[in-house]
Structure 1
């Protein structure tokens, strides 16, 4: 004959299982658990782009500083030749640049000569391209990896951060409208 107290662990297990399954089916719980990697928080939103003094990727190019980014709204795209996703987004950045979108690059933790060759082969959408070989600027920006794209206003204040590949959908739904609003605020680039 079985003793009833031996069934207590089984009853508790079933009760916990039912509660767990109910929680998973609860819409609010699903929303709380959902993580969208493109919306990683940034402490720099509404703050000036970090100060820096770094060389240009362009051979013989000038030393670039935060002041070089001022004057018009722009995308600041963190990229690297080692980044597979950067290769995927690069044709979109070229199309945007051809349409007049101002894009600056931060070549992150990369060999500058490799970056020059890559841009020669795949075309260069960047008006300015900062060589951040040691990753210090990336660290100051809170970069998790590449690609990451920041939207700055004409005063160099970071207004938005997107983590991941900029494709047509991302441009049309997230970056493009925000970029256009900044352009409309301060005049055409």
Structure 2
């Protein structure tokens, strides 16, 4: 009678384990979207320095009773330039206040970016060292968070906000929050 060696069992066990991981990984709602540990939790502290004479914001602004967006951006970020008109339109059409966090940028470059493209932010500040970004779990810029009036993170979107993303992902969350659900 042939003896089963432990090394003979190892490859099929590894295969089954990997197949299971791949299967469950594919079951996520949007496989292109990175997971967020903040969804459903309070937004982390706001720790920003002023960006010139632009209005700044703090923790209290995130808990003012209004639904809002927090958008991490930088002047050196090409996708941030692409999403900028969509942020402006979202702010104007939906009436959603957008708070900007300028990420690891030179203040003069950030101000020039806003002077050139317009400023969709009700308030903005600089995260020159990236400390706030670390606390928020930022993967890169641009990245946007939908925050409810109590300061709870409802949604995190990594990447530029396109019209499709706004229509299919951001607006439904905003609408649901406005309706109390």
What residue in structure 1 maps to residue 4 of structure 2?
Answer: none
Distance 1:54 1:177, change over 3 A: same
Query: 1:55·1:61 contact (CA, 8 Å) conserved in 2?
Result: no
What residue in structure 2 maps to residue 153 of structure 1?
Answer: 148
Pair 1:74 & 2:61 matched: no
Query: 2:47·2:132 contact (CA, 8 Å) conserved in 1?
Result: no
**What is the aligned length?**
161
Q: Give distance in 1, aligned partners of 2:158 and 2:67.
A: 19
Q: Give distance in 2, aligned partners of 1:97 and 1:33.
A: 30
Where do 5+ consecutive residues of structure 2 fail to align?
A: 1-18
Please give the root-mean-square deviation of Cα atoms over the aligned residues, in Å: 2.7
What residue in structure 1 maps to residue 12 of structure 2?
Answer: none
What residue in structure 2 maps to residue 60 of structure 1?
Answer: 53
Structure having the higher Rg: 1
Give the TM-score normalised by structure 2: 0.79
- CA shift at 1:63, angstroms? 5.7
- CA shift at 1:182, angstroms? 1.2
Give the TM-score normalised by structure 1: 0.76
- CA shift at 1:180, angstroms? 1.5
Q: Give distance in 2, aligned partners of 1:130 and 1:166.
A: 20
Distance 1:184 1:111, change over 3 A: same
Between 1:138-147 and 1:62-71, the stretch displaced more is 62-71
What residue in structure 1 maps to residue 90 of structure 2?
Answer: 96
Larger helix percent: 1
What residue in structure 2 maps to residue 169 of structure 1?
Answer: 164
Q: Give distance in 2, aligned partners of 1:112 and 1:164.
A: 22
Q: Give distance in 1, aligned partners of 2:46 and 2:146.
A: 17
- CA shift at 1:35, angstroms? 7.7
